[in-house]
Structure 1
């Protein structure tokens, strides 16, 4: 690159002088000419020169006045001014120097001497400017050093402390006089290994710089985290002159980071891993198990009886109970095992390095005993137990999510079998549960798609040939499989919310059909089957009343609810009250499948049902099986003794009807009378039905 020539401004009103100076200086400098003081000030203001050659004797504004203007301007005042004059008096030189002139050139002057003086003045000015810049840099560095929020420590080539700033003292607690001449190792906390510091010094040797986090110890003995940067400063011979270390105290930031990590990975109540950290732990456990070639137990634990305690005594008691239970479980585990909380009162355990099933069961037995120990919390006596399901990897060779799901399924089996026990996952049960889940999903989709319909099977008096009513029977009108009987899908949804929803739909649809028939002149009693969970639902009677209010044309006694003995088995006293409340709405009851339970006589005495329905399994087989015939006779005698109406299901042939009539049972339904049909077809059947003549002659 071509070095830029310094610019010299020549101010002189004599053209001959200007020409002479221009010729003398043009090889080394850029020469700018001004013929008056005013013009010189103007040109300097636009682009300040490196030096000014100024004639003293000029009209209007002489050199002295021009110099005064230059020195009064903050931008121009430091430019060296050299007076060029023919005056040789001492007074003129004194005045010029007092005005700030740097030198004098007396006409006539020697050109070589003039060049040397001008060069010396420019070099001196450059040195002055460089010194001024360095002084400014030093003042800035000193200000940064003194006022920096970061701690700064300077050491010599032997790593002995030379200087520290105020922030160093604030963070470390050490004054300069306490550490000067010492090695910064005085701050070591002992948390970093020797290998850590070896790597740090290696980085400084290779690249003259290192940065990272160091845990130091302050004068009070407290450990703090320092985000540190160390630089090597070398001299002109590339030898290490000193080191500069800068650090900031990030202890609070590290604590916040640690707290955030705990929030993200640990349960805030119990302090044990949450579901997020569990996912990481189980992946590590699976990898370890594969290497160790042992067993890993994945266990799912749910507390029995926690919700009533939480509801009765409040969340504070419930939370403390969870904390206590967590401590008890941890007492049964090793440090290498994992206990995680994945729900309100649900936990997952990972027990690794197991040799056989019995070893795991021994641990789980201890956990069950520990959890079941009663305690006192906030003055309340509390006691819970645990249901535990578990599976083994790699015997159960699946991914982490599937293993947890399998343990969860096994836990539900433990609950179903009486709680306070553990159960090992059974793949066969899992396949059954999976198939049931898929079936449930299909039924749920069919209900949402309005694929269910009601068919109606007549109930008659065989001897008189009269219609008693009809039973509403649900069917699934599958677009691909056709009409599906209830026995194929209702067991799949037993005890679920979907069973309640379908039950409500059956009730609403049956009442709509009754009202429709009534408008067509048909006034009959319609029976519907009610599932146990539907009957025992808290809103059942209220819903029934609402539905009747929506159909004001219907008369009392038009609806009969058929319930099975298993409904009463759950809570016979409550079922009896529900039946009484429904009967006040004009609803009748029949005990369906009578005789199949173990306590039929108890139900017959306790429940206010008007009708008994002989289960079709007895009726169908009574012609060939003497035991079934005896049961049918017994039920008929019971109905007479307890003054109950009686109807027999499963009358599939004329012979079945004849035998029932001979035994004293006149009311029946079955294929020998009619199969279930649509509501429109039932009207046609009623108009055309004729009972078998053999029944009328009996």
Structure 2
């Protein structure tokens, strides 16, 4: 029985297709089988007495062998893959298992190694891995390997506190080469340019081919953005090199899009590639054969704009928009002549939003038409409700340029009015911005005429902020001009704004248009407008925009300020008095800014050099010298300038705080002076 076991073991040893070697405890080979010779090339005689180290390829480092011996000593077994060297010098891969043979006392007497040649399997795996990670034509990394390397480079960049660049490259004119010379020529061109571009980069950089004529370069270890510019220039030069193909010279150029990492916002590898791709198209649009650096801020704005548009679209579906209404009145008679519909957004998170927060987002978007249609329909529905309740007023609605550009706008307006039979077309007024009207003057003019034919009126909104040409005004058949609130707001302290307001009123009279002032915030605004002949107005000094249900109560209780009711239109010859008052108020305001440190150059301290002083000594003296109010103005003007001079002296003496405490007294003197100005106007008034 023992002999049979020995014979069986000998048969297995000699016939096994796995290589077997047996060593002594000190590692000397004492026997090998035939498969050992077939795999390694060493005969039995070559191997006897040698150490298995004779097979070492040098491909594994010491750590591998240290782990091998540690396992053998502690467990008596090791299994793994090694690269060894054939007798002819070629390397081969093997699956190797080593077992320690111990005696009854547990002492290792021999080691037995069994191994098989897996070189063909390893080579096939490497080939498959190369196919999976490298471009078959150029040998460059493909999209899969690029993604791995880019993510690794991004992590290293963060750790090192440096930057990397991703350059997306597309060849200009490559399709023409393919079409004219054939695909073989195109392939050779791609291979040659890939080699040129790879040599243009540094060792640590990656150049990959995505497919077709698209390549991506990952440029690492950049100190800053400028550090990549020489590399980009070399890439462009490499892509533009001439390539010989038979008797032909092939040449193309490249468009490069570049983006950088890290950025202010978190970003992943795919987003970097998309950014570089976008920048590449910008380079093509700019003329090709160049690079364009991605603008992250601009892209963020574009993405934010898209998100805002979608948010507005959702809000329309959710019925989050509402209309508020601001009354328009005749300040002298107290008549409520209408209300302007103003859109608001009841945002679920941000609360009530004004139009400036969302309308600019959709100014050039089809949603502007959708929202504008909703506004007109909602306003007409509300007008029907008011009329049914006995409030017979008109309503005005703002229309945007995009609405007016619709070819069927007049027909749409006719249809929607027909859907509200209890509303007369004359009760609807459409307001169009002056700047919008001037974008396509002829078209807007035709639309206005078409709307007038069905009875709808038009007003030119924010008049004075555009070109305000007389020719434009003549060609736009609007019924009303709305004086922009910026001029109305500052006309009390800015003679130039007052002159603009007067000019608009004169134009309205000359062209038989109504004029309505926006931005009437105080009683004094109303007084001055009435003195210049402007009776129609709206603004916070009259009423703030309010929900529709509050309009009825407001109209039943509102009365104009008593000082407005009997106020008269000032003679044209007396307008200079009002200008003098405004000029003086502007002078005092400038002096206050100087005392508070908001204006470096003080106004003239000599009252004869101020605008009011010049008027008193010039036109005012010639026209009003004999009137008591004029003499009082001169006296109070002297008081104001004396007070101002004292305040400036205090400031010059580093007693600014004391000067500031006396500003109230200066304002009281100014108010008294302006009362005398109004008194002078009343003495020369003409009843309207």
TM-score by length of 2: 0.51
Structure 1 match to 2:77: 209
Question: Is 2:117 the counterpart of 1:252?
Answer: no
Give the Cα–Cα distance (whole angstroms) in 2 for the partners of residues 496 and 324 of structure 1. 49
Q: Choose between structure 1 and 2 for higher RCO, CA contacts under 8 A separated by at least 6 residues.
A: 2
CA RMSD of aligned residues (A): 6.8
How has the CA–CA distance of structure 1 residues 421 and 175 changed in structure 2, closer, same or farther, with 3 Å as cutoff?
Answer: closer
Offset at residue 160 of structure 1 (A)? 8.2
> Relative to structure 1, is the Cα distance of residues 262 and 362 closer, same or farther in structure 2, using a 3 angstrom cutoff?
closer
**Residue 457 (str. 1) matches residue 329 (str. 2):** no
The 5 Å alignment of 1:153-552 reads: 153-157=19-23, 158-159=28-29, 162-165=32-35, 181-182=45-46, 191-193=59-61, 196-197=64-65, 200=68, 204=72, 208-215=76-83, 226-231=94-99, 239-240=109-110, 242-248=112-118, 249-253=121-125, 256=128, 273-274=146-147, 278-287=150-159, 289=160, 296-297=162-163, 334-336=202-204, 352=221, 354=223, 360-364=225-229, 367=232, 386=257, 452-460=321-329, 469-475=338-344, 485-486=354-355, 489-490=357-358, 494-495=360-361, 504-505=370-371, 507-518=373-384, 521=387, 524-528=394-398, 530=400, 552=418
Q: Please, which of 442, 463, 472 is the counterpart of residue 594 of structure 1?
A: 463
Contact 1:368 1:421 in 2 (8 A): no
1-structure distance, mates of 2:529, 2:128: 84
Q: How many residues align?
A: 507
Once the 2 structures are TM-superposed, how far is the Cα of residue 615 of structure 1 from its aligned partner? Answer: 1.4
Distance in 2 (CA, whole Å) between partners of 1:681 and 1:504 is 27
Aligned-pair distance for 1:380? Answer: 12
Q: What is residue 538 of structure 2 aligned with on the other side?
A: 669
Partner Cα separation in structure 2 for residue 446 and residue 303 of structure 1: 41
1:283 is displaced (CA, Å) by 3.6
Residue 549 of structure 2 corresponds to 680
Query: Secondary structure at 2:33's aligned position in 1?
Result: strand
| Alpha-carbon distance between aligned partners in 2 of 1:194 and 1:399, rounded to the nearest angstrom | 42
Instruction: State the 1:473 CA deviation.
Output: 1.9
**1:560 alignment partner, SS class:** strand
Larger Rg: 1
- The DSSP-based 3-state class of the residue aligned with 2:396 is strand
Taking the aligned partners of 2:165 and 2:548, their CA distance within structure 1 comes to 53
Of 541, 547, 565, which aligns to 1:693? 565
Distance 2:417 2:318 in 1: 25
CA distance in structure 1 between the aligned counterparts of 2:404 and 2:87, rounded to whole angstroms? 73
Structure 2 unaligned segments of length 5 or more: list them: 184-189, 243-249, 569-686
1:556-571 superposed matches below 5 A: 558=428, 560-563=430-433, 565=435
For residue 630 of structure 1, report the CA deviation from its aligned partner: 2.0
Structure with the higher helix share, 1 or 2: 2
Could you tell me whether the CA contact under 8 Å between 1:459 and 1:668 is conserved in 2?
A: yes
1:618 Cα deviation from its structure 2 partner: 0.3
Tell me if structure 1 keeps the 8 A contact 2:379–2:395: no
Q: CA deviation at 1:627?
A: 0.6
Report if the CA contact (8 A) 1:272-1:341 is conserved.
Answer: no
Q: TM-score, normalised by structure 1?
A: 0.51
Mapped to 1, the partners of 2:395 and 2:261 lie a distance apart of 53
Question: Structure 1 residues 269 and 422 mapped into 2: Cα distance closer, same or farther (>3 Å)?
Answer: same
Give the direction of change, closer, same or farther, for the CA distance of 1:458–1:425 in structure 2 (3 Å limit). same
Taking a change above 3 Å as real, the CA distance of residues 624 and 252 of structure 1, as seen in their structure-2 partners, is same
State the shift of 1:456 in Å: 0.7
User: C-alpha distance in 1, partners of 2:527/2:215?
Assistant: 61
Cα distance in structure 1, aligned partners of 2:29 and 2:437: 90
Q: What CA distance in whole angstroms lies between the structure 2 residues aligned with 1:297 and 1:460?
A: 63
Gaps of 5+ in 1: 1-126, 147-151, 290-294, 317-321
- The separation in 2 between residues aligned to 1:589 and 1:615, in whole angstroms, is 16
Per the alignment, in what secondary structure is the counterpart of residue 495 of structure 1? Answer: helix
2:495 equivalent in structure 1: 626
Cα offset, 1:260, TM superposition? 6.6
Q: CA deviation at 1:650?
A: 1.3
Alpha-carbon distance change, 223 to 593 in structure 1, aligned in 2, over 3 angstroms: farther
Distance in 2 separating the partners of 1:162 and 1:241: 12
